[in-house]
Amino acid sequence: MKNTDWWRGAVLYQIYPRSFKDSNGDGIGDLRGITEKLDYIAGLGVKGVWISPFFKSPMVDFGYDVADYREIDPMFGTMEDFDALLEGLHARDLKMIIDLVFNHTSDRHPWFTESRKDMINPKADWYVWADAKPDGTPPNNWQSVFGGQAWRFDARRGQYYLHQYLDEQPDLNVRNPEVQDALLGVAKFWLDKGVDGFRLDAINHCIQDAYLRDNPSRPENERTPDRDYKNTYDMQRHLYDRSQPENLDFVRRLRALVDEYDDRMTVAEIGDDDNIARCIEYTAPGMLHTAYSFSLLTERYGAHVVHDMVGAFREKGAKSWPTWAFSNHDTKRVASRWAVQGRVDTRQLKMLQALLCSLWGTIFVYQGEELGLPDTKVPYEKMQDPFGKFAWPEDVGRDGCRTPIPWKHTMANAGFSDTNVEPWLPVPRNYQDSAVDVQDKDADSPLNFFRNFIKWRAKQPSFVTGDISFFETREPVLSFTRNRIIAVFNMGDKEEVYTLPGGTKPLEGHKLPYKLNDNKLDLPAFGGFFGELG
């Protein structure tokens, strides 16, 4: 089949539809809202979009609990709205990647409704069921990602079912060939509709240990500052509840299906202790096209973080292709998470935009990053995220990165809705100053910087498919080459000096600040430089 590898080195824009644009005044973003803003998306210069789930769902986890994989939830619109959105994207030469959740469904999915009836129905083995221990406790010690045990007892069936996420998200038994066939049928449905690819949610979780063995506890020497040990999930080494070798056979079947269509792609969401190694495993020849790594969604900040994570992928997985992001719908926005000394700084935001889009791999930019939006604090009484409610106040959950996009600074709700209705999450007052219409008029805004940088990047083929090689530098300076282009970033808030290789000629047009005297490079706080090696 025709395969142009359009995704390789592309910059793609992630849309969380609930929070992008509300077209009908109910306070919740929808598919028509995205269609209304297609010219805006095209104007960013990105290659396409990844849209988080819009399938029929009770919305306990806001669409990641699917009740029907082939229906649009009325909250987001109709199948006709979806078709119009897809047509509008393709008319602008933009790709559409949709989010498929194959590890679990909603407990209201008809498959689960039937499976829980008894142990002999046709779908009895479509979910992960297990008997209680003699004392009535769960089959093993596995923990939910959201905290607490990963098993719930179902009195009707008289067994426990596995839920690696919320109680309302029972795990499918992807070991079962019938389940695999059903899931591949879902993928085929959307491929036939014309989508350009899939982001595969929690794909390495889909098959667990056949013997349901206990996970060992995590030794003290493996406990890092990144991990929140108030969450029981992080107290274990996850040897048996995810990333089982048998799962790779299902992934190969999925890739074979996708390869029957022209110019389609798959990106795996991988969460694992050794995230880089697992991403490489899932993107080996014959596996998925690329893997979405959590490695740069960390709280840790600095040149060494980017150097170590991207460098490790390049060193260990030269035949694989990575995907990088600094923010998404599950993490604190990078403007706040990586703010030096806790201060959101527009100069840093521009530098981070340029850095992310200069890395080797496919790039995902989460909605609002082009505006430099910070994370927000949602008061408890307005919180929506079930994980945030569970972990509050130690962890406020994911609502802060999901607040609606501000479009017009003078309108109620910053133009997210065209009415005064209260949106599903509050729009913080300081977002109005960062609204799209404000930044449109400011040549020096983060939005216009992003647009200009993506346009400039498109003229540098090395940034699309070029190799990467890092220089050894002292913090906070990061330096690497993409073929014959050298990139240098000052990730700190103080001026830094860097010596360039002799004969380096500057590449102009990217608008990051620097001063060059022979081969001595002066980088102001959050400055950056691109040059062509002599």
pLDDT of residue 227: 55
221 and 86 share one domain = yes
Q: Are residues 396 and 514 in the same domain?
A: no
Token pair, residue 408, equals 């017009």
Shared domain check, 319 and 409:
yes
81-90, 205-214, 226-235, 376-385: which range is least confident on average? 226-235
Active site residue 260: yes
Residue-level pLDDT at 153 = 98
Residue 124 lies in a domain: no
Same domain, 377 and 250: yes
pLDDT at residue 282 above 70? yes
The domain boundary, picked from 457, 487, 518, lies at 457
In this structure, are strands 129-130 and 95-101 parallel, antiparallel, or unpaired? unpaired
Cα–Cα distance, 508 to 512 (Å, whole number): 9
Same structural domain, 443 and 484: no
Give Cα separations from 81 to 54, 77, 116, 156, 192 (angstroms): 11, 6, 34, 39, 17
Strand 362-366 to 322-324 pairing: parallel
Q: Percent of the chain beyond pLDDT 70? A: 99
Q: What is the pLDDT of residue 38?
A: 98
Are residues 495 and 423 part of one domain?
A: no
* Of the listed ranges 86-95, 146-155, 332-341, 395-404, the one predicted with least confidence: 395-404
Res 203 pLDDT > 70: yes
Where would I find the beta strands (DSSP E) of 17-133?
48-51, 55-56, 68-72, 95-101, 129-130
Q: Are residues 324 and 382 in the same domain?
A: yes
Is residue 117 assigned to a domain?
no
The domain total for the chain is 2
Same domain, residue pair 507 and 443: no
Choosing from 22, 201, 281, 330, the catalytic residue is 201
Measured between alpha carbons, how far is 307 from 480 in angstroms, rounded to an integer? 9
Of residues 87, 268, 65, the one with CA closest to residue 171: 65
Looking at the predicted structure, is the pLDDT value of residue 372 above 90? yes
Q: Are 466 and 452 in contact (CB under 8 A)?
A: no
- Please identify, among 432, 457, 482, the residue that sits at the C-terminal boundary of a domain: 457
Output the pLDDT for position 56: 98
Known active-site residue 201: yes
Domain assignment present for residue 157? The answer is no
**Inside any domain, residue 2:** no
Looking at the fold, whether 447 and 507 belong to one and the same domain comes out as no
The string of pLDDT tens digits covering residues 469-515 is 999 999 999 999 999 999 999 999 999 999 999 999 999 999 999 99
pLDDT one-digit tens code per residue, 436-469: 999 999 999 999 999 999 999 999 999 999 999 9
Residue among 118, 181, 246, 260 flagged as catalytic:
260
Instruction: Tell whether 412 and 508 lie within a shared domain.
Output: no
Report how far residue 305's alpha carbon sits from residue 242's, in angstroms, rounded to the nearest whole number.
25
- 500: CATH: 2.60.40.1180
Last residue of a domain, one of 408, 429, 457: 457
SS3 category, 114: helix
User: For residue 223, what pLDDT band results from cuts at 50, 70 and 90?
Assistant: confident
143 is a domain residue: no
Q: Does residue 390 carry a pLDDT above 90?
A: no
pTM score = 0.96
User: Is 130 inside any structural domain?
Assistant: no
Q: Does residue 168 lie within any of the structural domains?
A: no
Asked if residue 384 has pLDDT above 70, the reply is yes
81 in a structural domain: yes
Whether residue 402 is found in the same domain as residue 444: yes
Confidence of residue 224 (pLDDT cuts 50, 70, 90): low
The domain that holds 62 is classified in CATH as 3.20.20.80
Minimum mean pLDDT range among 75-84, 87-96, 183-192, 217-226: 217-226
The pLDDT mean for the chain works out to 95
Average pLDDT over residues 379-388: 87
Please determine, for residue 393, whether its predicted confidence score (pLDDT) is greater than 80: no
DSSP 201-234: ETGGGS---TT-PPPPBPPGGG--TTS-TTSGGG
With 90 as the cut, is the pLDDT of residue 221 above it? no
In this structure, the dihedral spanned by the alpha carbons of residues 121, 124, 125 and 128, taken in order and rounded to 10 degrees, is 180
- Those residues whose C-beta lies under 8 Å from the C-beta of residue 526, and which sit 6 or more positions away, are 345, 347, 348, 350, 351, 490, 491, 492, 493
Residue 199's domain comprises: 11-105+176-457
